[in-house]
Each structure stands twice: as C-alpha cells, then as structure tokens.
C-alpha cells in the first residue's frame, strides 16, 4: 500500500491542555491530588498479585463506605448507569414485578431499564421536589407484590434526599428486595446498608467520593444473593452478570476509601437565603446535602447565569434535569469540594451573575 488515505489529524499531533475548573455542579466533582497521583501509577496485569491485593482493599473500602459486611461487594467498571443496570439485570427476570419510586429522573431511567428487559413495571410517582411516606410505600408494596422495590436515595435532578428508615423492613415484610440508588448521596448524607435493611445498593465514583468517573461500587445482601444466584435464566448482560463478577472479585476481605467528608450545605443554604434566593425543596429534612437545588431566579435565563459563572469564574454550576429542567439551578458540594471557602466562592459568583445578567420584567 503506497500511501495513507486518512492522514493523522493535526489535533492529535499536539497535547491537549485541560483547563483547571472548580466543579460545583451535580457531578463530576474535583479530584484530589493524591487520587490523580494514584492514577499515574504503573499498569499492572489483571491477575497480578498486587492487583488482587488492590481489589481486596477496594472491597473493604466499599464495605466501610456502605456500612455493610456483605461478602458480595465490589466495583463495576462503568458509570453509575452501569451499576443501575447491573442491579436491575441481576435481580429481575422477564415477567417479574418491580415497583419503582419516581420522584425525579433516576427513577424514570430505572423504570425504562426494567421495562426493556421485560419486567412488569409498576410505579409510585410524585412531583419534582417530593418524596414518599412509608405508608404510601407499604400500600404500593401490598398492591403490586413486587420482587424488587427501587428507590433513589439522593435525587440529584431535584435535590431531594429520601428518608430510608423503615423501608427495608417493609420490603422484607412483603418478601421484596430493597434496591437503593445512592450515586449522588453516599458519603454526603448518612446511610447504613445493613442497619437499614438495604438489599442492593450502588453509587458512583465521580460524585462525593471524588474519584474519576468510570467506577461504580455496588453491594448485595445475602437475601439478594439467594435471588440472583438462583435465577431461572441468565442475566441479559454478560458483562454485568454477577455470577461472573463475584467470581472474578473473590468477594471477601480489607481498607481504602477514607476521605469522605462532612458537608457544609446548611452554611450554603443560609447564604442563599440572605441573597433572597429560594431553595426548591421546601422540606428541610428532604434536602440532599450534596446537590442543592435553587429556584431559578424569576426574570433570568438560567443558561445565561451558568454561562456567566463559567466564563467569569471558571466554575461549573448546572441547570435542572428531567422534571426540574428550567426550574432550578443545581450546585454540587461533594467531598473535597464541600468547604465553606467554596461556598463563599459560589455565593459571590451567583451574586455577581445576578447583577450582570439580563433580567426581564416578570
């Protein structure tokens, strides 16, 4: 062959410069230096003894973060969506009944995934910013008799943290597995998997855990393992088949994730109130501390506000998502980004944006 038809692209002949930004959206969050340094370590083979040791440390770290002693605890290679699919693909079979609580976009996506594998999808729905009482959940469990109940712990599209206490007991009363999505909440608001009777729980690395995207911790209780390891049919996904993943990970022992920090949401909420801005979630106990949803200031275009802050302060905040689209601004305070210094920065940026962005007559 005498010549190349497709020439090397000019853009790949020089390094790409990545800007340094303060990531205060609903995720990803900034990654601490010691974690980026760990990512620069030499590559190991997937069956090297050191790799097995690292995997065991990761498992122990996840057990600590989840507050569980579950032997089947590991990290899925992929984003939070991969863990969501892993949980649903393994716990449900075609034709089985599932109950999904929808108070934002993540419940909607779980329902679509379950529908795609042929499960009988039943939903419990409330408006953006709302959550469900245990009485409402029990009524739905009694009505639909599902094998799995799905609930989003931290609904980042609306800024709601859902109460967990008592729900596990209700699920087990109706012979149902309790599946919890804690992608935007774990590490920023308390949750104890074993104590609260959660059967399946997962999170994402790029939120409060302050790691690069692409790793999704997940854990299964013994009750869940009885279900998923005694299926009539194989899971629809080979890559996410827990029979294979659990075997590869070994699923036993010990410590690594140790920079989960206390959040400073109340300090931020107080500052917003002093500026005259309103919080979208009215019930204080239902506010997700890792992602604050602010009612979009009347008369302003939220896109202009977020664009001004990015351009002027090199700082990311976001607009709404799914049911909250156009209604809110979202600010993430996760892990190492959760500091009063960063709160002061975002309050200053918001105040400046409201002065300089166009305001129409409402």
**Maximum CA pair distance of the chain?**
74
Beta strands in 198-270 (DSSP E): 200-202, 215-220
Q: Give the Cα separation of 155 and 104 in Å (integer).
A: 6
Phi-psi region of 295 (alpha: psi -120 to 50; beta: other; left: phi over 0): beta
Q: What token pair was written down for 223?
A: 């009750």
Give the Cα-Cα-Cα angle 319, 324, 325 (nearest 5 degrees). 50
Nearest CA among 79, 82, 26 for reference residue 205: 79
Q: Give the Cα separation of 307 and 226 in Å (integer).
A: 50
330 is in an annotated binding site: yes
CB 89 within 8 A of CB 269: no
Nearest CA among 126, 124, 100, 103 for reference residue 112: 100
Which residues line the annotated binding site for substrate? 330
Which residues line the annotated binding site? 330
């Amino acid at each position: 062959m005498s010549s190349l038809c497709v020439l090397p692209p000019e853009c790949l002949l020089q390094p790409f410069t990545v800007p340094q930004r303060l990531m205060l959206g609903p995720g990803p969050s900034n990654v601490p230096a010691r974690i980026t340094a760990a990512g620069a370590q030499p590559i190991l083979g997937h069956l090297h003894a050191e790799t097995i040791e690292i995997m065991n440390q990761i498992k122990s770290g996840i057990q600590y973060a989840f507050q569980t002693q579950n032997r089947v605890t590991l990290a899925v290679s992929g984003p939070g969506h991969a863990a969501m699919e892993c949980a649903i693909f393994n716990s449900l079979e075609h034709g089985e009944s599932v109950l999904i609580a929808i108070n934002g976009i993540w419940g909607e996506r779980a329902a679509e995934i379950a529908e795609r594998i042929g499960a009988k999808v039943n939903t419990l729905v409330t408006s953006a910013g709302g959550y469900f009482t245990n009485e409402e959940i029990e009524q739905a469990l009694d009505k639909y008799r599902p094998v799995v109940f799905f609930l989003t712990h931290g609904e980042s599209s609306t800024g709601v943290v859902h109460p967990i206490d008592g729900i596990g007991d209700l699920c087990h009363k109706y012979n149902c597995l309790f599946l919890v999505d804690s992608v935007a909440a774990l590490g920023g608001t308390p949750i104890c998997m074993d104590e609260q009777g959660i059967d399946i729980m997962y999170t994402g690395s790029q939120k409060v855990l302050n790691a690069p995207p692409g790793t999704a911790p997940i854990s299964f209780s013994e009750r869940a393992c009885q279900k998923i390891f005694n299926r009539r049919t194989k899971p629809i996904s080979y890559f996410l088949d827990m029979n294979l993943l659990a075997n590869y990970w070994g699923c036993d022992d010990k410590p690594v994730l140790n920079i989960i920090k206390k959040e400073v949401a109340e300090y931020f909420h107080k500052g917003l109130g002093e500026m005259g801005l309103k919080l979208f979630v009215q019930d204080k106990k239902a506010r997700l501390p890792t992602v604050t949803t602010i009612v979009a200031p009347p008369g302003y275009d939220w896109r202009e506000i977020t664009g001004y802050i990015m351009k002027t302060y090199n700082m990311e905040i976001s607009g709404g998502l799914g049911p909250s689209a156009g209604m809110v601004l979202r600010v993430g305070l996760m892990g190492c980004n959760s500091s009063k210094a960063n709160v002061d920065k975002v309050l200053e940026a918001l105040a400046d944006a409201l002065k300089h962005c166009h305001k129409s007559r409402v």
